């Protein structure tokens, strides 16, 4: 089976974080499946189905934490499998996969726009807002509020070790929003002057816990202590249906060389460096989750999951799409 090179390029870009952020990762995965549906050379519908499943496997194994990735792949694959089982010929099967990928991408972009609208209502004139990492959903809330004429300033963490906060700060500054960049460990120092924290999510669990970039939970703790509102901006495809069944979300642990350079590691072989990419913020520290369906308290996560993923437990998906992927170097919490 020779899958198109573009599929492997997308998978590699996700793995190496050239494509990053849960929403972008999901949209890239959907487009990867559409490419396979369009370009995989065969006249046999069974072979095309196997190629799609193999591509799905390649994509979900790239990064383990962003639940948007398996959710996007499931959305696209499920419609393909349904068409296959309904007797679709090869052209119809290709079309089913392509249109469901297009639908996912379209819905995903619309969801971010709605979140921007709903979230912007929570930003007030004169606010000082803190954000962490680079989340398209969180940034879109801030950009929308600014566009509506609200005037506020943003404190953006730099976000060690990959400095995604620099992307956030640059986007906000380009839009004319006053931005102050701080080191991650200064979050509590500034918290007393902050009015609201807005972050994105890689996954939302059934109990309302939010998995996001490492450091998010410490910021939430500081916000809780200082009685500062803590908002999460998350499309519903970041909610994890597996957590309804008690599965824990896998936390990606990345290369220590992202934290300290290889020379240092070689000079100090007895120092162990760990690099978890995400952490879990408990629901008690979260005031609201802003979704495209509306604003919910974290306790409403189960309701969203039932509505959006009621099909999950009874679907005809293959096993590898029904449980969390488990590549090497990951820890479960
Ligand atoms: C990105 C990150 C973002 C979420 C949400 O981590 O934690 O806050 O993915 O982003 P990484 P978005 O840089 O490791 O992918 O709102 O853009 O989906």
10-residue mean pLDDT series, the chain (333 residues): 96 98 98 98 97 98 96 96 96 98 98 98 98 98 98 98 98 98 98 98 97 98 98 98 89 96 96 97 98 98 91 76 52 42
Structure token pair of residue 281: 């913020």
Does residue 238 have its Cβ closer than 6 Å to ligand 1? Answer: no
- Whether 115 lines ligand 1, by a CB cut-off of 6 Å, is no
**Residues with active-site annotation:** 133, 202
Going by C-alpha positions, the residue among 211, 204, 212, 240 that lies closest to residue 70 is: 240
Q: Which CATH architecture has domain 114-309?
A: 3-Layer(aba) Sandwich (3.40)
Give residue limits of the domains in the chain.
5-109+311-329, 114-309
Asked if 235 contacts 200 with a C-beta cutoff of 8 angstroms, the reply is: no
Residue 247 has a pLDDT of 85
Kindly give the distance from the C-alpha atom of residue 316 to the centroid of ligand 1, in angstroms, as a whole number.
Answer: 30
Please work out whether the CB of residue 23 comes within 6 Å of at least one atom of ligand 1.
yes
Ligand 1 in contact with 213 (CB < 6 A)?
Answer: yes
φ and ψ at 308, to 5 degrees? -85, -30
CATH T-level topology, domain 5-109+311-329: 1.20.120
pLDDT number for residue 318:
84
Q: Which of 241, 248, 217 is nearest to 302 (CA)?
A: 241
Look at ligand 1, atom 1, and give the residue with the nearest C-alpha.
21
Q: Which of 65, 66, 136, 249 to mutate to test the pocket of ligand 1 (most atoms within 8 A of CB)?
A: 66
pLDDT at site 315: 73
pLDDT of residue 278: 97
Torsion of CA 40, 42, 48, 52, to 10 degrees: -20
State if residue 212 touches ligand 1 by the CB under 6 angstroms criterion. Answer: yes
pLDDT for residue 280 = 97
pLDDT of residue 323: 64
């Amino acid at each position: 089976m020779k899958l198109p090179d573009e599929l492997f390029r997308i998978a590699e870009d996700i793995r190496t974080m050239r494509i990053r952020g849960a929403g972008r990762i999901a949209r890239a995965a959907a487009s990867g499946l559409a490419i396979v549906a369009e370009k995989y050379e065969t006249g046999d519908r069974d072979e095309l189905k196997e190629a799609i499943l193999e591509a799905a496997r390649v994509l979900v194994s790239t990064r383990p934490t962003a639940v948007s990735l398996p959710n996007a792949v499931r959305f696209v694959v499920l419609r393909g499998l349904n068409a296959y089982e309904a007797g679709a010929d090869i052209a119809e099967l290709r079309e089913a996969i392509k249109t469901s990928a297009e639908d996912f991408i379209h819905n995903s972009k619309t969801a971010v726009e709605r979140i921007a609208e709903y979230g912007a209502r929570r930003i007030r004139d004169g606010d000082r807002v803190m954000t962490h990492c680079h989340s398209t959903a969180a940034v879109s809330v801030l950009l929308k509020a600014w566009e509506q004429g609200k005037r506020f300033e943003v404190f953006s963490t730099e976000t060690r070790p990959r400095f995604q906060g620099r992307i956030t700060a640059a986007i906000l500054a380009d839009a004319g929003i006053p931005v102050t960049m701080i080191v991650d460990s200064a979050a509590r120092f500034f918290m007393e002057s902050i009015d609201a924290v807005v972050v994105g999510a890689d996954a939302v669990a059934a109990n309302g816990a939010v998995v996001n970039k490492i450091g998010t939970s410490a910021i939430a703790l500081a916000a809780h202590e200082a009685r500062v509102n803590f908002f999460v901006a998350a499309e519903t495809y970041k909610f994890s249906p597996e957590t309804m069944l008690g599965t824990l979300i896998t936390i990606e642990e990345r290369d220590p060389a992202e934290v300290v350079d290889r020379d240092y590691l070689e000079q100090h072989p007895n120092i162990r460096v760990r690099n978890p990419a995400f952490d879990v913020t408990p629901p008690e520290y979260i005031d609201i989750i802003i979704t495209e369906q509306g604003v919910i308290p974290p306790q409403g996560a189960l309701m969203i999951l039932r509505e959006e993923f009621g099909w999950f437990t009874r679907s005809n998906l293959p096993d590898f799409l029904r449980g969390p992927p488990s590549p090497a170097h990951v820890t479960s919490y």
